[in-house]
Amino acid sequence: MGQLFSDTSKKEDNEDLVSSFNEYFKDIKTENKIISQETIDLIKLHLNKGNIHGANCLISDTLRNIDNAPINIAVTGESGVGKSSFINALIGIGPEEEGAAEVGVIETTMKRTSYKHPKIETLTLWDLPGIGTQKFPPKTYLEEVNFKEYDFFIIVSATRFTKLEVDLAKAITIMKKNYYFVRTKVDIDVENERKTKPRTFEREKALKQIQSYSVKVFNDNNMAVPPIFLISNYDLSKYDFPVLMDTLIKELHVQKRHNFILSLPNFTDEAIDRKYKATQQFIWLEAFKIGVVAIFPVLGNLRNKDMEKIKNTLNHYRKIFGVDDESLELVAKDFQVPVEQVKKTMKTPHLWKNYREETFRNNFKKLASAFGRLLAVGCYFPAIYYLQLHILDSVTEDAKVLLRWTYSKPSSNSTYP
In a domain, 65, yes or no: no
Q: Final residue of a domain: which of 252, 283, 317? A: 252
End-to-end Cα, the chain, rounded Å: 63
- Could you give the number of structural domains in the chain? 2
Integer Cα distance of 349 and 314 in angstroms: 10
Q: Is 244 found in the same domain as 319?
A: no
Within-domain flag for 417: no
> Residue 217 maps to which CATH number?
3.40.50.300
Q: Residue 302 has what pLDDT?
A: 52
Domain final residue pick, 226, 252, 278:
252
Check whether residue 205 and residue 298 sit in a common domain. no
- 303 and 225 part of one domain: no
Q: What angle do CA 72, 63, 302 make, to 5 degrees?
A: 130
Helix, coil or strand: residue 37 = helix
**DSSP per-residue letters across 146-201:** TGGG-SEEEEEESSSPPHHHHHHHHHHHHTT-EEEEEE--HHHHHHHHHHH-TTT-
180: helix, strand or coil: strand
In a domain, residue 131? The reply is yes
Question: Taking all residues of the chain, what is their mean pLDDT, rounded to a whole number?
Answer: 80
SS3 string, 214-261, reads HHHHHHHCCCCCCCEEECCCCCCCCCCHHHHHHHHHHHCCHHHHHHHH
CB 61 within 8 A of CB 79: no
| 96, 122: one domain | yes
Q: Look at residue 42 in the predicted model and tell me its pLDDT.
A: 93
Does this model's pTM top 0.95? My answer is no
More confident residue, 177 or 10: 177
The verdict on 187 and 276 lying in the same domain is no
Residues 187 and 289 in one domain: no
- The DSSP secondary-structure symbol of 382 reads -
Residue 43 lies inside a defined structural domain of this protein? no
One-letter amino acid of 35: I
User: Does 386 lie in the same domain as 300?
Assistant: yes
Same domain, 77 and 206: yes
Q: Is the pLDDT of residue 13 over 90?
A: no
Mean pLDDT, rounded, for 347-356: 75
Domain assignment of residue 51, yes or no: no
pLDDT exceeds 80 at position 323: yes
Say yes or no to pLDDT of 357 above 60.
Answer: no
| Per-residue pLDDT tens digits for 190-230 | 888 889 888 888 888 988 988 888 888 888 888 888 889 99
Rounded Cα gap, residues 278 and 244, in angstroms: 18
Backbone angles phi, psi at 180, to 5 degrees: -140, 140
Residues 111 and 146 in one domain: yes
- Are residue 204 and residue 284 in the same domain, yes or no? no
Helix, strand counts (H, E) of the chain: 17, 6
Predicted pLDDT of residue 245: 94
CA–centroid distance for 307 within its chain:
27
> How many Å apart are CA 10 and CA 16, to the nearest integer?
10
Number of C-beta neighbours around residue 286 at 10 A = 17
Condensed to tens digits (0 to 9), the pLDDT of residues 87-128 reads 988 888 776 666 667 776 455 556 788 999 999 999 999 988
Q: Does 220 share its domain with 322? A: no
For residues 308 and 222, state if they share a domain.
no
Name the residue with higher pLDDT: 18 or 35: 35
Of 252, 282, 304, which marks where a domain is finished?
Answer: 252
Q: Average of pLDDT values for 304-326? A: 85
* Burial class for 284, CB neighbours closer than 10 Å (0-12, 13-18, 19+): buried
Q: Which domain holds residue 366?
A: 7-32+266-408
119 located within any domain: yes
**305 class by beta-carbon count within 10 Å (0-12 exposed, 13-18 middle, 19+ buried):** exposed
* Higher-scoring residue by pLDDT: 279, 290: 279
